[in-house]
Structure 1
């Protein structure tokens, strides 16, 4: 459920967008900040909030740009740019050896499991899946904007990208769980909870 809550700023952005993209960006920024602060108060480390920090950064920049020029052509590109920002954030987390899913999943398993190489590899794969999903959403959204697709068509990119990443994560988690069941007890973990 925590993972789905992380997409709430995007839901708010989409719902408020018709009233003005500048207000949508500000509302999404507020929601992203609330989620970040709530996570910190709940004891989450920043490694479990990498995407939250990324969303606060994105919506903060977008709010400044949108408020300074509400008529900017950037308005149409906000959603694909957001997906590209998420893809870049996830890719950077992989590149520096701190996959964003690792911090989330680590809080759900025993410390010895979280330190295992198998657990890190599982999270590298899952983070790569989400990086690809965010990238697909960015490219598909960009194509829709360039082709002057309507709002309904433009929502297809995130649905395909994020939905595909969610399904692929679930399938990979099922396979990882099957391998874990066959492994020694000290390596067994609930890595499948990442997909929840």
Structure 2
């Protein structure tokens, strides 16, 4: 469930941008991510989560660029940038060998399992599922940008993609445990 909380900055942005306040949405997303960074660094583990740090940088950089340039970007364009940035963050964590889901999985798994190849592989696969979800969302953003499909269809794609990734995140580790221990 904590993995869903990690997407709160994106939800703050989505709500503000849907109401027509893209720049405020970027600032709100950045501030929300900053709160998560403070939580991460002041918590018992003092561990920085890659997704939280990347989200803060993403929203902060976009907010600064839009504010300094005075550029007016459509909601669809800003959403495309934000979602593309998130997909890039996810792919970078996978390429670094530290999929973003590891930070959340470590909160639920015994420390002696953290270095196992199975733990890493499981998190890589779950992170790839989230990457696939955001690739679908970016396709929906681009469709919205070019008015290719109705807004309702785009909403279904976005919600369906996120829900699918979330359900997979819950199901996949359970299915591996059940396969390893059929009793």
Change (3 A) 1:80 1:154: farther
Give per-residue Cα distances to partners, 1:64-108, cap 9 Å, x unaligned.
122234552354311122121111111111112111111221232
Q: Does structure 2 conserve the Cα–Cα contact (< 8 Å) formed by 1:133 and 1:165? A: yes
Q: Output the CA distance in 2 between the equivalents of 1:113 and 1:125.
A: 17
Q: CA deviation at 1:137?
A: 0.9
Q: Does structure 1 conserve the Cα–Cα contact (< 8 Å) formed by 2:37 and 2:53? A: yes
Aligned residues: 181
Change (3 A) 1:11 1:161: same
Residue of structure 2 equivalent to 1:50: 50
Q: Does structure 2 conserve the Cα–Cα contact (< 8 Å) formed by 1:133 and 1:164? A: yes
Q: Output the CA distance in 2 between the equivalents of 1:135 and 1:41.
A: 33
Runs of 4+ in 1 over 6 A off after TM superposition: none
Residue of structure 1 equivalent to 2:123: 123
Deviates more, 1:16-25 or 1:78-87: 16-25
Q: Output the CA distance in 2 between the equivalents of 1:149 and 1:36.
A: 37
RMSD of equivalent CA atoms: 2.3
Residue of structure 2 equivalent to 1:188: none
Highest RCO, 1 vs 2 (Cα 8 Å, sep ≥ 6): 1
Q: Which runs of 5+ in 1 are unaligned?
A: 184-196
Residue of structure 1 equivalent to 2:2: 2
Give per-residue Cα distances to partners, 1:104-133, cap 9 Å, x unaligned.
212322221112111111111111111111
Q: Does 1:134 align with 2:134?
A: yes
Change (3 A) 1:126 1:87: same
Structure 1 length normalisation: TM-score? 0.81
Q: Does structure 1 conserve the Cα–Cα contact (< 8 Å) formed by 2:76 and 2:144? A: no
Q: Does 1:104 align with 2:104?
A: yes
Q: Output the CA distance in 2 between the equivalents of 1:84 and 1:131.
A: 10
Q: Does 1:21 align with 2:32?
A: no
Deviates more, 1:171-180 or 1:59-68: 171-180
Deviates more, 1:13-22 or 1:119-128: 13-22
Structure 2 length normalisation: TM-score? 0.86
